[in-house]
Amino acid sequence: MPKKSFAADATWVLLTSVFAAIISIAGGALLARFIGPDGKGVVTAILVVPTLVSNLLALGLREPIAHLIGKKVFNIKEIIDSAYWFLILSSAAGIIISGIYLVSIGNPEFTPLMILLALMVVPANATIFLCGGIFLGQGRIGLLNRVVWISEFLRLLAIVGLVWALNLGVTSALVAWLLGLCITASYGVALVRADFKPKRRYIPPVAKKMLGMSGIYTLSILATRLHHSIDIIMMERLSNVTQIGLYAVGLGTVELILHIPSAVGTVLFSRSANAADWVSMAAQVAKLLRVTFLAAWLAGAALYLAAPVMIPLVYGSAFMPSIAITQLLIPGIVGWSISSVINGSMKGHGRAGIGILVTLPGVVINVILNYFLLPKYGAKGAALASVISYNLVAVIWIVVYARLTSLPIREFVRYRKSDFSFIRQLSRRTGSEDCSNRSSG
């Protein structure tokens, strides 16, 4: 089978992400209507740290796994066997860290059963990310796409079946969340086992290399995830669950835009992991950045106009304050799209450490702004802090990447007609596939 073009891979990832987002919005809307802003705030608050920790530990393994497989540093079977061994250790560590946090904060809204369900998210999420890393390193974007939408679809079914049917409020929402993750994780493991029949083995050279890379990737992901989640963590102390619920809906809505840079970044990571020279890809990265930035702004403008109708229609009138939060966050998410594309390429080439230095100033600014804005302005203050810090990091990324690759900064903003040639390529590809299908029929 011939290898698909970058544009074709990115388009399929984008379409899958949009499809998954539609399912996610449907599930989120039903959940919000069933449990209201307060319940939504509790679910968001109790899951934010377990999700952050599991993503941190799992992505810290996923990306080194994809890099090692793509670069063919070791035998792929040895890499996967070692990854399974690390999965158990990272899951145990994630459960302990998250458990200590959830118990120590003493939130009266969190029951022991809720905490237990939230902790079980850690190994399920970590397993999904590990399988994704294997598929990403092999360049099997189709399998990665399938795991993404299946997870959201199963969560939707679980929400309808448990939250609506059993009417157990927040507890049933957490069960639904966990059930979707567990089934998806089982499916991913089944796909990997069918090809490799992995065993949990400690292979010193592989483990040493993986552990060394994992440390850098984990710190890089920690910086990125903290930058994205620190406002919700701080809102637990400086605001209330209603404001968290309103902010979560606004953030979840505006993150629809992120499916564009996420699709580009995912494929770029996979291609970069399989490329020999990262500097030679700089011109392509700049081109992708120009197109992604324009697409994100167009999507943001459309969302700004649609939000006043979309949010009350989907989530109900109780979430009307989320309209302003969504609109306020749009410039920040557009800035985040720049960081997502460049960071995806750098991590694919094994240069994750640069992301730590670039992102840390944004985290510091975000914390300082939230400290002063949250008590007075609540969710709107968190949104404003995010907009400022996200765009600061985007500017730093452009300057740093330009210096590393010797590209003039104007290359990131000067559009060319050739930037949009991928549209013609996709049209010709689709047309040739249609002709082939008709002739074969």
pLDDT in tens, 95-144: 999 999 999 888 888 889 889 999 998 998 888 888 888 887 777 766 66
How far apart are alpha carbons 235 and 336 in whole angstroms?
21
User: What is the pLDDT at residue 2?
Assistant: 46
pLDDT above 70: percentage of residues in the chain: 79
Please report whether residue 436 resides in a domain: no
Local confidence band at 434 (pLDDT 50, 70, 90 cut-offs): very low
**pLDDT over threshold 60, residue 27:** yes
Please report whether residue 418 resides in a domain: yes
To the nearest whole number, what is the mean pLDDT of the chain? 80
Q: Do 331 and 194 touch, CB atoms closer than 8 A?
A: no
Please report whether residue 299 resides in a domain: yes
How far apart are alpha carbons 308 and 251 in whole angstroms?
15
User: What is the pLDDT at residue 148?
Assistant: 67
Least confident piece of the model among 54-68, 220-234, 267-281: 267-281
**pLDDT over threshold 70, residue 365:** yes
Please report whether residue 358 resides in a domain: yes
**Phi/psi class of residue 197: alpha, beta or left (left: φ > 0; alpha: ψ in -120 to 50)?**
left
Please report whether residue 259 resides in a domain: yes
How far apart are alpha carbons 359 and 251 in whole angstroms?
20
Please report whether residue 1 resides in a domain: no
Please report whether residue 432 resides in a domain: no
Looking at the structure of the chain, the number of domains it has is 1
Nearest 5 degrees, angle CA 288-CA 269-CA 276? Answer: 95
Q: Do 112 and 144 touch, CB atoms closer than 8 A?
A: no
Please report whether residue 438 resides in a domain: no
**DSSP annotation of 111:** -
Stretch (H or E) spanning 204: helix 204-238
**397: amino acid identity, one letter:** W
Give the global pTM: 0.68
Local confidence band at 362 (pLDDT 50, 70, 90 cut-offs): very high
**pLDDT over threshold 70, residue 15:** no
Range of the domain at 252: 6-427
